[in-house]
């Protein structure tokens, strides 16, 4: 550990992501622990969990194990009560549930196997219902599907929810129970996509709830919304009548539920948070603000959770519409503002949540129409409200005459209004608020308090800052106050038990503004978290201390942080009109790079314009912190960090003042010189909003001048440092109006008909579509439209008996879908095939008429021939292509290996040919996916000149052509020269002067005057001489030009044939001159930048970039006038919601309308979501929800591709249960490679149970850094075994679910494999998350965990892990742990049908076998490996066997070879598949009895590299097997 003098010890290792909270029962317990990061105290082991009394109860009563003979006990309600009272009920302390006990019950499937199957809505006890509530809450906390098990009994589910709503009737719950109950209601209101849940909970937010409003508020609401009068009367009429009278609804649960909850909360806030004192009125001041003992933490948590509940209700329209008046009627916000907790230091999070609630209560939206209010409408409403109040005061209240006659500007601020109202007596004030204005009920006990009445008045009439102003005044860079505020940017170990002052991304948003605001805040805080981590990593390395002059000095050095020599502000510009902050603030920072070595110097010298840097002020304490201070100190105190401010690079100069990295083109490339000296001065732009706030604080509060204290400049990795550009893009969008296409807006916000944006509901459809090469042949087309009677027609209307592609289809608007296009909510199989059932019933198929035509001759040269598609698309893929080329929203779910990219490319291809004037934007998440897409487009009939690739990844494109802007410009200029030389050749062939090919312009005149005119004359002559077969050959005007074609042009046998060839030649010429016309702009524009911009905005038809590039460059795209009609997004389930949204808006609107016509989203929500580093934003705010996943949850129709072509059908069964109807492509059954077994293995997939190794299972060397040495050694042994059999290394990948294990496996490989040439490293060692989107033939997978299942419980991670292998998948894990996990059951039940010990076929000692994949081999050849040690022995024996073969084959000279040469030879022999050798190898006898027991240890060091040459062959074999050769 580095000792940082003056700042105490600080561990600057980057923290890992948490899964569960670390239980810190006591300091001593924490010190005893060996690792971190489990869900239970760190000392607990799997065996302890197995010995735990809950586990024993579970085994006796509900655990489903493989033992079928064990009797199943009957359900015992008394057991449920006992478990609830002894294990789940919290008697004291701040937490609502004992988390560790809940986790053990949840892992044992208490809910799925015991509570729910035996639940009866009529007879269930209170404890039974509360137990279910706690289990559901735990599932939500762990982010796993919570409602799945309830769907099997829907009626019981409705009954359960009904019981939950009435749970409190006649019973007083403890504060812990109330909190659990509240969390359940929060979770229910966040699950509106579930039909049963939404039908139940939305009843609580219906118009009926207005029965509980005070009479005055009720009258006011009906006056403001006259349309509701009729609805109210209709609702009253429907109510049941008893004895001629309508029943009293005030006792109805739908009426009272929310009101009762609010009143219960206010009572707890008022009397239970501070139990020692009953506080009221002025006594509030008596509270000891820092008093720790007074506060009841459990009540504080309840109050925070209740704020979260109300915020959730007001932030989605279905619940907000009728519940907002209820919240205003009780004046929740005013009461919270006046509560003691709001001002107490323990109420900091509560106060932030109250402010968020206040924001949503006053949100700028019309609750009943759902339309966003403009700034002007908000202002008008504010003024009319104040004006009405002034009129009332003038007529009725003499004391308020001054207020009535004041101008609005002097009374709409909080202080002025409070002052004006203070002249009223308490009785007058109460009469005004409760009787005249009816803002609160006079029955409310709070209405006696003057401060409450004034608060209600002020918050109702004061002018609120508009959301636009608020966002524009917000600094984009985080400062030290935001960075270390735990309630806004929580540290890594957020467990999901408490709530946070953060917005949530759920299903619906109030308005586009609300959508952008929530995303802005979350994105800003997520980047703040990452910046905070970087600061915590960089600063300790500087070793700050106080020197003899009392100033900060640095003993160390940091790669990312450098001490500042001088900082000065150089320019502050006047504010823009209507603003108070300066328009720009510029500063210069000087620093020295003398202490750095060359590579780090070059990193600092590579700073570019717009790079973000951070200015830090570090002032360590003079004395090192004591142990006690260390414990109490915050991170900034430990680091001595005072201030953090962000800035953006404008330019950078060297010691002599020369501009280093010129970004404006002022310095030409050949004039550039390397930088001089070691001092650098960087000119930076400071954040003007932050600067204004700082300067105001200095003036008003006399705070320290931040800008005189900076002493460290910090940079970040460029790839992670693009947050400012994205935040600016979001902020710009918030300042624009009407930004999303009208057809998409409601669907986007989550309202209205989910299928409204589907192509069948859109105007301006393409009536007839030319499918070009989509269909390989006519039979392929007929297969794709099985519900139709297909007939092929010639252009003249006659039937075509021998149809060949291309085909044109007139698509009916009501095109029947196959079972692909379904919404997420369709569950029953009957609905799934509703498209086909109608057809079957009537036996009458509709007719679909296909136009066939012969495409014109493309030209006489090979390069003229169009490239053809060879993929035989499935009917579902064809459906996706049809949907994609029509206007509207198309969503395609592509399970692993189903040809998502091929489908996307064909959509682009068909779109290009049918709408040649339209431009398409392609967005992907990764450069890899973009390059894959591009390489496939290159193989289609889309001219390369219309393709453009923006961003950094174009260097990795595996094509001969350069698709970057610069590459395309160069290509166009080169093409221009080629074409002009062709024009000169044409001129020569026509005996004309060659100077016509001087420029594109002269070539254009030449085309009109000489080429086109000759062609017209030729056509006219042909029209009169059609009967002469040789006429075309004799009279064709360009015969000489086309004399170099590979085949003779004209036969002279048929006029029609020759005429077709002549047309092809003319088409070649026409294309040539058309290309020249396109090159003309590049002739006129002289600068590279202008040419590149022209290419991007005018020339390119298909422009591709990553979502990050789109967000970074949005401003540039708008300035250049970039336009596009279609958006295709690949990997869209892996892209953050906001990064999906920005690419829709990279162009300016045309006359207030968005130009976007099509939006095609392709992804798979069953695989992993976008990466969010902070667990709190992921778990609490659902920031990892992609737009694609949200659309699926909303029930928007999508097409699910249903035939995979990646994996053996048997391996595909491990994950295809997660999809609707995922089958296999026919070639998987036909190809030999998929039917042949994996040599040396009995099975193509297997789960291998790995026991504790050296007494240990999983370990955590540092918190949340999981490793499992046994699995690492075993997996590498199996890899070595495969290499010895001759499997190629590049066909094997090793995957694991944790970073810690990945690093451990790499260590083992570098020790046991890398030193030996004939083994070497595998293709990749990676985490499952990083390997998404990739595949390999053989996958070895380590699941690591032995105590808790961990994040593999996320089924999406399981799907990715299972779907990477094509031919073989071997999973190493702890069976007893994973077989009990409910979410993973379908996969693990299949895996466990095979032995859980690795089954090897020991008769096969090469990588070739004729054995069928279904045949494990004869029983005497199958050997079940007992464990890691035995695997080592098997490797050694196999190695000796191999050597014996080598020896027999190379006997004359084997003894003279060096080991390194031998190993090469072994490798060469193994890699070449030689049938004779394999025949020999298989004939050799092999011992099938148990492996020898000597030398069974696995871990150990390899010999030093310089001794490798001295090791004999036998030694090398032992080293491979065991990692411990002995010479």
Name the maximum alpha-carbon separation found in the chain: 122
Exposure on the CB side of residue 734, measured as CA atoms within 13 A: 25
The whole-number pLDDT of residue 781 equals 93
Q: Which helix (H) or strand (E) holds 564?
A: strand 561-572
Nearest of 1145, 1184, 1188, 1143 to residue 1165 by alpha carbon: 1188
| Residues 1080 and 1002: beta-carbon distance below 8 Å | no
Residues in the chain: 1527
How far apart CA 898 and CA 1335 sit, in angstroms, is 13
Q: What is the 3-state secondary structure (H, E, C) of 1373-1426?
A: ECHHHHCCCHHHHHHHHHHCCCCCCCEEECCCCCCCCCCECCCCCCHHHEEECC
Percentage of residues in the chain with pLDDT exceeding 90? 39
Burial of 466 (0-12, 13-18, 19+ CB in 10 A): middle
- The position carrying tokens 């309202």 is 751
| β partners of residue 1224 | 1204
| β partners of residue 613 | 647
Q: What is the 3-state secondary structure (H, E, C) of 1315-1372?
A: CCCCCCCCCEEEECCCCCCCCEEEEEEECCCCCCCHHHHCHHHHHHHHCCEEEEEEEE
- The position carrying tokens 């029209």 is 1023
How far apart CA 1078 and CA 1074 sit, in angstroms, is 6
How far apart CA 311 and CA 305 sit, in angstroms, is 10
| Cα distances (angstroms) measured from residue 1512 to each of 1132, 1463, 1501, 1504, 1517 | 55, 11, 17, 14, 9
Crossing angle of the two packed helices 253-271 and 175-189, in degrees rounded to 10: 130
| Residues 222 and 207: beta-carbon distance below 8 Å | no
Strands 1102-1106 and 947-949 turn out to be parallel
The whole-number pLDDT of residue 1011 equals 93
Strands 1198-1200 and 888-893 turn out to be parallel
| Residues 971 and 945: beta-carbon distance below 8 Å | yes
Burial of 630 (0-12, 13-18, 19+ CB in 10 A): middle
Q: Which helix (H) or strand (E) holds 1035?
A: helix 1031-1035
The whole-number pLDDT of residue 70 equals 60
| Residues 1108 and 960: beta-carbon distance below 8 Å | no
Nearest of 706, 712, 849 to residue 789 by alpha carbon: 849
| Residues 1164 and 895: beta-carbon distance below 8 Å | yes
How far apart CA 1033 and CA 66 sit, in angstroms, is 84
The whole-number pLDDT of residue 738 equals 65
pLDDT digits (tens, 9 = 90+) for 36-75: 333 343 334 555 555 678 888 888 888 776 555 566 678 8
Nearest of 572, 604, 608 to residue 587 by alpha carbon: 572
Residues of the chain with pLDDT under 70: 1-51, 65-72, 240-250, 276-293, 492-493, 662-672, 738, 816-843, 952-960, 1450-1527
How far apart CA 1241 and CA 1248 sit, in angstroms, is 12
pLDDT digits (tens, 9 = 90+) for 84-109: 988 888 877 778 888 888 888 888 88
How far apart CA 1246 and CA 1393 sit, in angstroms, is 9
* pTM, 2 dp: 0.86
Exposure on the CB side of residue 201, measured as CA atoms within 13 A: 24
| Residues 516 and 740: beta-carbon distance below 8 Å | no
| Residues 727 and 479: beta-carbon distance below 8 Å | no
pLDDT digits (tens, 9 = 90+) for 554-589: 999 999 999 999 999 999 999 988 888 899 999 999
- Strands (E) in 718-804, as ranges, are 768-770, 788-793
The whole-number pLDDT of residue 244 equals 53
- Taking only Cα atoms into account, the Rg of the chain, rounded to an integer number of angstroms, comes to 37
How far apart CA 960 and CA 971 sit, in angstroms, is 12
How far apart CA 1353 and CA 1362 sit, in angstroms, is 13
DSSP for 1089-1146 reads HHHHHHIIIII-SEEEEEHHHHHHTHHHHHHHT---SEEEETTGGGSBHHHHHGGGGS
| Cα distances (angstroms) measured from residue 412 to each of 457, 616, 966 | 11, 40, 57
Q: Which residues are CB-neighbours of 1032 under 8 A, at least 6 positions away?
A: 1022, 1050, 1055, 1058, 1059, 1061, 1062
How far apart CA 375 and CA 380 sit, in angstroms, is 9
**Cα dihedral 274→279→282→284 (10° resolution):** 0
- Residue-wise over 324-346: b if at least 16 C-beta within 10 A, else e? bbbbbbbbbbbbbbbbbbbebeb
| Residues 924 and 1129: beta-carbon distance below 8 Å | yes
Burial of 102 (0-12, 13-18, 19+ CB in 10 A): buried
| Cα distances (angstroms) measured from residue 402 to each of 392, 431, 450, 1036 | 13, 19, 21, 98
3-state secondary structure of 548: coil
Which of left, alpha, beta for 344 (phi over 0: left; psi -120 to 50: alpha)? beta
| Residues 923 and 1106: beta-carbon distance below 8 Å | yes
């Amino acid at each position: 550990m580095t000792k940082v003098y003056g700042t105490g010890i600080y561990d600057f290792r980057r923290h890992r992501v948490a899964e569960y909270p670390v239980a810190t029962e006591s300091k001593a317990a924490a010190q005893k622990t060996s690792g971190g990061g489990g869900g239970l105290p760190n000392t607990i082991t799997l065996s302890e969990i197995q010995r735990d009394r809950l586990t024993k109860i579970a085994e006796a009563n509900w655990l489903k194990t493989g033992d079928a003979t064990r009797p199943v006990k009957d359900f015992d309600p008394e057991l449920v009560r006992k478990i609830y009272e002894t294990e789940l009920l919290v008697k004291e302390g701040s937490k609502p549930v004992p988390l560790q006990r809940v986790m053990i019950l949840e892992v044992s499937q208490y809910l799925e196997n015991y509570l729910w199957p035996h639940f009866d809505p009529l007879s269930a006890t209170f404890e039974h219902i509360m137990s279910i509530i706690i289990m559901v809450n735990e599932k939500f906390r762990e982010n796993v599907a919570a409602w799945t098990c309830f769907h099997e009994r829907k009626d019981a589910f409705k009954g359960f929810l009904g019981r939950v709503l009435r749970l409190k009737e006649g019973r007083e719950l403890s504060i812990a129970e109330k909190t659990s109950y509240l969390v359940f209601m929060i979770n229910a209101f966040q699950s509106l996509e579930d039909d049963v849940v939404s039908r139940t909970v939305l009843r609580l937010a219906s118009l009926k709830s207005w029965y509980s409003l005070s009479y005055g508020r009720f009258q006011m609401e009906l006056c403001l919304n006259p349309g509701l009068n009729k609805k109210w009367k209709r609702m009253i009429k429907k109510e049941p009548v008893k004895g001629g009278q309508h029943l009293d609804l005030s006792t109805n649960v739908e009426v009272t539920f929310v009101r009762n909850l609010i009143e219960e909360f206010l009572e707890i806030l008022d009397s239970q948070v501070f139990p020692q004192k009953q506080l009221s009125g002025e006594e509030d001041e008596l509270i000891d603000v820092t008093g720790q003992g007074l506060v009841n933490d459990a009540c504080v948590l309840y109050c925070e959770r209740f704020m979260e509940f109300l915020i959730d209700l007001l932030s989605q329209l279905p619940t907000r519409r009728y519940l907002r008046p209820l919240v205003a009627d009780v004046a929740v916000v005013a009461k919270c503002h006046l509560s003691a907790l709001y001002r107490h230091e323990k109420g900091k999070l509560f106060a932030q949540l109250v402010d968020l609630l206040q924001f949503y209560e006053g949100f700028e939206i019309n609750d009943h129409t759902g339309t966003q209010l403009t700034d002007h409408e908000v202002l008008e409403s504010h003024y009319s409200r104040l004006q009405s109040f002034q009129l009332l005061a003038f007529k009725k209240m003499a004391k308020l005459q001054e207020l009535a006659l004041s101008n609005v500007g002097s009374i709409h601020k909080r202080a002025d209004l409070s002052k004006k109202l203070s002249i009223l007596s308490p009785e007058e004030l109460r009469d005004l608020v409760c009787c005249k204005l009816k803002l609160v009920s006079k029955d409310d006990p709070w209405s006696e308090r003057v401060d409450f009445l004034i608060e209600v008045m002020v918050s109702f009439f004061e002018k609120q800052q508009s959301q636009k102003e608020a966002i524009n005044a917000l600094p984009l860079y985080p400062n030290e106050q935001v960075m270390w505020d735990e309630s806004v940017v929580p540290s890594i170990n957020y467990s999901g038990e408490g709530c946070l002052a953060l917005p949530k991304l759920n299903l619906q948003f109030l308005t586009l503004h609300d959508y952008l605001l929530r995303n802005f805040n979350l994105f800003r805080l997520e980047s703040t978290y990452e910046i905070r981590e970087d600061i915590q990593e960089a600063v300790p390395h500087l070793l700050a201390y106080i020197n003899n002059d009392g100033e900060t000095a640095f003993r160390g050095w940091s790669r990312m942080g450098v001490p500042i020599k001088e900082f000065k502000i150089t320019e502050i510009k006047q504010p823009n009109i209507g603003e108070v902050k300066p328009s720009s603030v510029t500063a210069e920072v000087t620093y020295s790079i003398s202490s750095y070595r060359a590579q780090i110097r070059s990193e600092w010298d590579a700073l570019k314009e717009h790079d973000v840097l951070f200015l830090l002020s570090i002032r360590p304490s003079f004395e090192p912190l004591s142990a006690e201070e260390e414990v109490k100190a915050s991170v900034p105190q430990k680091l001595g960090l005072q201030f953090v401010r962000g800035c953006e690079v404008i330019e950078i100069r060297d010691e002599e003042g020369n501009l280093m990295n010129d970004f404006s083109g002022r310095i030409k490339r050949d004039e550039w010189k390397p930088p001089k000296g070691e001092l650098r001065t960087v000119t930076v732009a400071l954040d003007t909003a932050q600067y204004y706030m700082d300067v105001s604080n200095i003036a008003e509060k006399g705070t320290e001048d931040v800008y005189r204290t900076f002493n460290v400049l910090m940079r970040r990795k460029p790839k992670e440092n693009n947050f400012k550009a994205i935040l600016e893009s979001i902020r710009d969008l918030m300042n624009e109006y009407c930004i999303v296409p009208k057809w998409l807006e409601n669907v986007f916000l989550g309202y209205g008909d989910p299928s409204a944006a589907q192509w069948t509901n859109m105007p301006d459809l393409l009536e007839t579509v030319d499918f070009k090469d989509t269909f390989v042949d006519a039979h392929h087309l007929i297969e794709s439209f099985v519900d139709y009677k297909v007939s092929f027609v010639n252009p003249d209307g006659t039937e075509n008996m021998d149809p060949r592609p291309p085909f044109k289809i007139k698509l009916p608007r009501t095109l029947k879908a196959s079972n692909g296009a379904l919404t997420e909510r369709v569950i029953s199989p009957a609905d799934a095939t509703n498209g086909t059932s109608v057809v079957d019933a009537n036996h009458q198929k509709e007719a679909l008429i296909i136009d066939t035509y012969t495409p014109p001759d493309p030209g006489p040269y090979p390069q003229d021939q169009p490239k053809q598609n060879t993929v035989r698309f499935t009917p579902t893929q064809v459906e996706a292509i049809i949907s994609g080329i029509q206007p509207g929203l198309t969503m395609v779910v592509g399970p692993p290996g189903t040809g998502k990219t091929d489908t996307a490319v064909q959509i682009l291809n068909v779109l290009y040919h049918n709408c040649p004037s339209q431009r398409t934007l392609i967005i992907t998440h990764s450069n890899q996916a973009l390059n894959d897409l591009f390489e496939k487009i290159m193989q289609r009939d889309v001219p390369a000149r219309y393709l453009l690739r923006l961003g950094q990844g174009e260097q990795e494109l595996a094509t001969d052509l350069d698709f970057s802007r610069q590459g395309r410009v160069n290509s166009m200029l080169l093409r221009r020269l080629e074409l002009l030389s062709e024009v000169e050749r044409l001129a020569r062939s026509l005996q004309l002067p060659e100077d016509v090919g001087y420029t594109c312009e002269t070539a254009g005149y030449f085309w009109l005057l000489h080429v086109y005119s000759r062609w017209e004359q030729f056509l006219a002559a042909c029209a009169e001489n059609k009967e002469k077969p040789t006429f075309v050959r004799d009279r064709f005007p360009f015969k000489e030009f086309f004399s170099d074609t590979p085949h003779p042009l004209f036969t002279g046998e048929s006029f029609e044939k020759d005429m077709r060839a002549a047309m092809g030649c003319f088409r070649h010429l026409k294309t040539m001159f058309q290309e020249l016309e396109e090159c003309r702009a590049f002739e006129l524009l002289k600068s590279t930048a202008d040419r590149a911009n022209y290419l991007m905005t005018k020339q390119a038809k298909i422009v591709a970039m990553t979502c990050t590039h789109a967000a970074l460059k949005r401003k540039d795209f708008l300035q250049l006038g970039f336009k596009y009609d279609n958006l295709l997004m690949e990997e869209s389930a892996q892209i953050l919601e906001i990064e999906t949204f920005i690419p829709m808006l990279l162009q300016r609107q045309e006359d207030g309308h968005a130009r976007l016509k099509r939006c095609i989203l392709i992804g798979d929500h069953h695989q992993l979501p976008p990466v969010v580093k902070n667990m709190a934003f992921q778990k609490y705010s659902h920031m990892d929800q992609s737009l694609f996943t949200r659309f699926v949850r909303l029930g928007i129709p999508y097409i699910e591709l249903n035939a995979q072509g990646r994996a053996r059908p048997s391996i595909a069964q491990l994950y295809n249960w997660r999809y609707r109807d995922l089958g296999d492509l026919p070639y998987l059954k036909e190809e030999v490679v998929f039917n042949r077994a994996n040599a040396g293995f009995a099975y193509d997939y297997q789960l291998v149970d790995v026991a504790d190794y050296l007494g240990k299972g999983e370990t955590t060397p540092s918190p949340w850094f999981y490793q499992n040495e046994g699995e690492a050694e075993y997996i590498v042994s199996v890899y070595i075994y495969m290499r010895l059999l001759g499997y190629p290394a590049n066909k094997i990948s090793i995957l694991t679910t944790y970073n810690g294990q990945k690093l451990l496996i790499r260590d083992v490989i570098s020790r046991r494999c890398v030193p030996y040439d004939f083994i070497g490293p595998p293709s990749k060692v990676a985490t499952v998350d990083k390997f998404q989107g990739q595949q390999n033939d053989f996958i070895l997978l380590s699941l690591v965990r032995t105590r808790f299942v961990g994040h593999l419980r996320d089924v999406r991670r399981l799907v990715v892990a299972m779907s990477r292998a094509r031919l073989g998948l071997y999973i190493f894990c702890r069976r007893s742990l994973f077989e009990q996990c409910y979410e993973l059951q379908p996969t693990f039940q299949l895996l466990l049908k095979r032995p859980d010990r690795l089954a090897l076929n020991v008769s096969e000692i090469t990588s070739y076998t004729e054995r069928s994949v279904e045949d494990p081999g004869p029983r005497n050849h199958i050997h079940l490996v007992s464990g890691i040690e035995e695997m080592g022995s098997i490797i050694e024996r196999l190695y000796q066997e191999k050597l014996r073969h080598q020896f027999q084959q190379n006997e004359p000279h084997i003894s003279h070879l060096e080991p390194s040469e031998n190993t090469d030879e072994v490798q060469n022999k193994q890699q070449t598949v030689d049938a004779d050798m394999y025949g020999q190898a298989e004939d050799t006898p092999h011992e099938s009895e148990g492996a020898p027991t000597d030398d069974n240890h696995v871990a150990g060091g390899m010999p030093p590299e310089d001794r490798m040459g001295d090791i004999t062959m036998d030694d090398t074999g032992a080293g491979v097997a065991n990692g411990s050769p002995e010479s």
